[in-house]
């Protein structure tokens, strides 16, 4: 379960690496927003950064998955072995420095996102406006 991962991994990591001052960033998946999870995180004094819904362009993991899919498509995969090899190739080029660049890019996008009042950056993406909801 989600909260078990937080308990097993995040709490220690945050305490050791950030002295307990980091904010947990997660998306709006149901397991992240359940009453049980929110109560548990609150009991553990986990600070949470709210995430705008439908904002894949602000999520480095979603950007990496998209990039990996494009990489694999260009490989002209024909079978499961080709797929596996392509995934391993991609993971070799996904270095900590590349991940850092994704995360640093998100910082810039957050500022721009707020100044554009929540308009998405990705082609075909949805818009999120905190002051109104869409049907």
pTM above the 0.85 mark? no
In angstroms, what CA-CA distances link 125 with 9, 36, 61, 66, 120?
Answer: 32, 31, 16, 13, 6
Check: CB of residue 128 under 8 Å from CB of residue 54.
Answer: yes
Residue 120, in any domain of the structure: no
Domain that holds residue 10: 2-49
DSSP code string of 38-56? HHHHHHTT-EEE---TT-G
Same structural domain, 60 and 103 = yes
Residue 76, in any domain of the structure: yes
Check: CB of residue 100 under 8 Å from CB of residue 36.
Answer: no
Same structural domain, 108 and 62 = yes
Summarised one tens digit per residue, pLDDT across range 86-98 is 999 999 998 888 8
Residue ranges of alpha helices (H) inside 1-135 are 2-5, 11-18, 30-33, 35-43, 60-74, 80-93, 96-115
Number of domains in the chain: 2
Distance CA 53, CA 127 (A): 9
Residue 127, in any domain of the structure: no
Residue 70, in any domain of the structure: yes
Provide the β-strand partners of residue 47.
23
Summarised one tens digit per residue, pLDDT across range 74-129 is 999 999 999 999 999 999 998 888 888 887 877 777 777 667 665 555 444 444 33
């Amino acid at each position: 379960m989600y909260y078990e991962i937080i308990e097993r991994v995040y709490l220690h990591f945050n305490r050791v690496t950030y002295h307990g001052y980091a904010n947990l960033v997660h998306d709006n998946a149901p397991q992240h927003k359940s009453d049980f999870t929110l109560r548990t995180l609150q009991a553990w004094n986990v600070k949470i950064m709210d995430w705008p819904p439908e904002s894949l362009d602000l999520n480095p993991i979603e950007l990496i998955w998209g990039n990996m899919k494009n990489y694999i498509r260009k490989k002209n995969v024909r079978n499961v072995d080709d797929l596996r090899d392509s995934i391993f190739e991609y993971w070799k080029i996904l270095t900590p420095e590349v991940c850092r660049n994704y995360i640093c890019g998100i910082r810039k996008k957050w500022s721009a996102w707020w100044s554009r009042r929540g308009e998405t950056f990705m082609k075909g993406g949805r818009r999120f406006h905190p002051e109104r909801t869409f049907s």
